[in-house]
Amino acid sequence: MDEDEIVGGWSLVHCSVERAGKKSRPLGERPGGMLLYTPDGWMSALLTTDPAMALAEAATEAGVSGGTVAHAGRWERTPDGTVRHHVAASHYGPWVGTTLERAVHSGPDELLLTASTDEGARRHLRWRRARARAPRAPVAAFPLTAPPHRRRTPRSPSPFPLSFRRWCAMRTANLGDRLVLVHDDGAVDVEKASHGRFPSDPQAVFDHWEEFTAWARTPAAPEAERIPLADHLLGAPVPRPRQVFAVGLNYADHIEESGLDTPAQPAVFTKYPTSLAGPYDTVELPSTMVDWEVELVAVIGARAHRVRAEDAWQHIAGLTVGQDLSERRIQLQGPAPQFALGKSFPGFSPTGPVMVTPDEFDDPDDLALGCTVDGETMQDSRTGRMVFPVAEQIAWLSAICPLLPGDLVFTGTPAGVGGARKPRRFLAPGEQLHSWIDGIGVLRNRMVAGPGYPDGPSV
Ligand code: ZN
């Protein structure tokens, strides 16, 4: 067996993965991995010792390609003659990164390879040529049926099996303008822990999101040195998005309190990026008419253009808490309302305190959220009550605008805003606005009088 035969040749093989002295068996019995070729050399493979993970990924392959291999990677020969293949077995975010490094001759029907993994480990992988039962390439003969969770709709309880979630769930934050992974016992500086593989800039990571998540989910990342997650250093987890979308009138009770009709499509406006603020920042009030709107904020992790709602979650890197602070006079005055300006004073878009990957939630489509002013509850609802769920918002926005990695989508606010109260109530200097979403955290923003207070801007 030489490398030419590897590149050109095997039709169906299955692999076993040796790890910690234990061998896993091929997918379908006890999932451990699979390897498939088509005549042009395309292949798909899975390398994992987590049965739930393997099942989920394999089901993805089967579902996407109807049982044949659509894509996932390609063998290539590097200038030094090494045969490599990057195994990328993922269609909805989480993935396993393994690079097969070197072929070792091991007999006509067996192949031994060395592989390095994103965990930094080096493994031997052994493949056997399938014998009599092997179909000719292209092949589709792996014994898989999609488990029920693959037949999900965007509103299903969870696309991820429990063990899969635990394996993948991840929180990031912006600590003093540096990207950190957040663990229960402290933060890990990503640039340092990855030895410069990923930049320190919290915004830049979204251009390498898939690669980053693969690294962050390896043991090396969580085992790195801890630093304190100091509140006063926390900034917006996504500090410089290229686009910030926001959706209004997206909870039935908020539509009712606003006295407006339910829109046929999501009602979209923007909050300019200069309005972003950190989770604990002080907000300068420009006038006496600044209102609160707690919102779930979705962070785009992969470019989304003309995506279907059922695929939308695959394009979301994570979720965070947002406040869509709104100066109601500017917002609503004039013949055409000025939503974008009224909601874009500096500090009017606090976000944070962390960004959480969607797989951390039992149901990312039904999270409790609310806000308090000086301890008094103003809003208290669930994102499950949205008129247009997150996935439908992404589908609608992306039908028109390509959504770019690191963009934000403010997804609407439930009932309880100050402008709809009788009498109306707005934020005053000295008040503490706390905004929370279960499973993500709390924004704590103190209001102070800004330069234009109390009259606000005029021209
Ligand atoms: Zn809003």
**Separation of CA 248 and ligand 1 centre (Å):** 5
Report the candidate in 11, 236, 18, 209 with the shortest Cα–Cα distance to residue 114: 18
- Residue 368: CATH number of its domain: 3.90.850.10
**Separation of CA 293 and ligand 1 centre (Å):** 6
Report pLDDT digits (tens) over 212-243: 988 887 766 667 889 999 999 999 999 999 99
Does 108 lie in the same domain as 32?
yes
112 vs 418, higher pLDDT: 418
Does 227 lie in the same domain as 242?
no
**Separation of CA 170 and ligand 1 centre (Å):** 26
Domain limits for position 207: 162-233
Report pLDDT digits (tens) over 370-379: 999 999 999 9
Does 426 lie in the same domain as 277?
yes
Does 328 lie in the same domain as 185?
no
Which DSSP state fits 432? E
Residue 270 CB neighbours (<10 A): 17
**Separation of CA 448 and ligand 1 centre (Å):** 21
Does 257 lie in the same domain as 205?
no
Q: Answer yes or no: is 420 within a domain.
A: yes
Report pLDDT digits (tens) over 36-61: 332 222 233 433 333 333 333 332 23
This prediction's pTM: 0.67
Report pLDDT digits (tens) over 245-300: 999 999 999 998 988 889 999 999 999 999 999 999 999 999 999 999 999 999 99
Number of domains in the chain: 3
The 10 Å CB-count burial string (b at 16+, else e) for 149-182 is: bbeeebeeebbbbeebbebbbbbbbbbeebbbbb
Does 311 lie in the same domain as 206?
no
Return d(Cα 138, Cα 140) in angstroms, integer.
Answer: 7
**pLDDT for 434 beyond 70:** yes
Phi/psi-derived region of residue 334, left when phi > 0, alpha when psi is between -120 and 50, beta in every other case: left
Does 43 lie in the same domain as 30?
yes
Which DSSP state fits 9? T
Q: Answer yes or no: is 455 within a domain.
A: no
Report pLDDT digits (tens) over 63-90: 222 222 222 333 344 566 554 444 433 2
Compute the CA torsion angle 294, 455, 329, 382 (nearest 10 deg): 10
Does 421 lie in the same domain as 297?
yes
Q: List Cα–Cα distances, 272 to 243, 248, 324, 350, 414, in angstroms.
A: 8, 15, 11, 12, 22
**Separation of CA 260 and ligand 1 centre (Å):** 14
Does 325 lie in the same domain as 196?
no
Does 168 lie in the same domain as 208?
yes
Amino acid 185 reads D
Structure tokens, 251: 């909870």
Last residue of one domain, picked from the residues 198, 216, 233 = 233
Q: List Cα–Cα distances, 248 to 197, 293, 402, in angstroms.
A: 39, 10, 20
Say if CB 327 and CB 345 are below 8 A apart.
yes
Does 196 lie in the same domain as 279?
no
Q: Answer yes or no: is 457 within a domain.
A: no
**Separation of CA 58 and ligand 1 centre (Å):** 39
Residues with CB under 5 A from ligand 1 (ion): 293, 324, 413
Residue 330 belongs to what H/E stretch?
Answer: helix 328-332
Does 66 lie in the same domain as 43?
yes
Q: Answer yes or no: is 51 within a domain.
A: yes
Say if CB 436 and CB 442 are below 8 A apart.
yes
Last residue of one domain, picked from the residues 151, 174, 194 = 151
pLDDT band of residue 5 (cuts 50, 70, 90) is very low
**Separation of CA 186 and ligand 1 centre (Å):** 32
Return d(Cα 33, Cα 39) in angstroms, integer.
Answer: 20
pLDDT band of residue 447 (cuts 50, 70, 90) is very high
**Separation of CA 33 and ligand 1 centre (Å):** 46
Last residue of one domain, picked from the residues 200, 233, 266 = 233
Q: Answer yes or no: is 57 within a domain.
A: yes
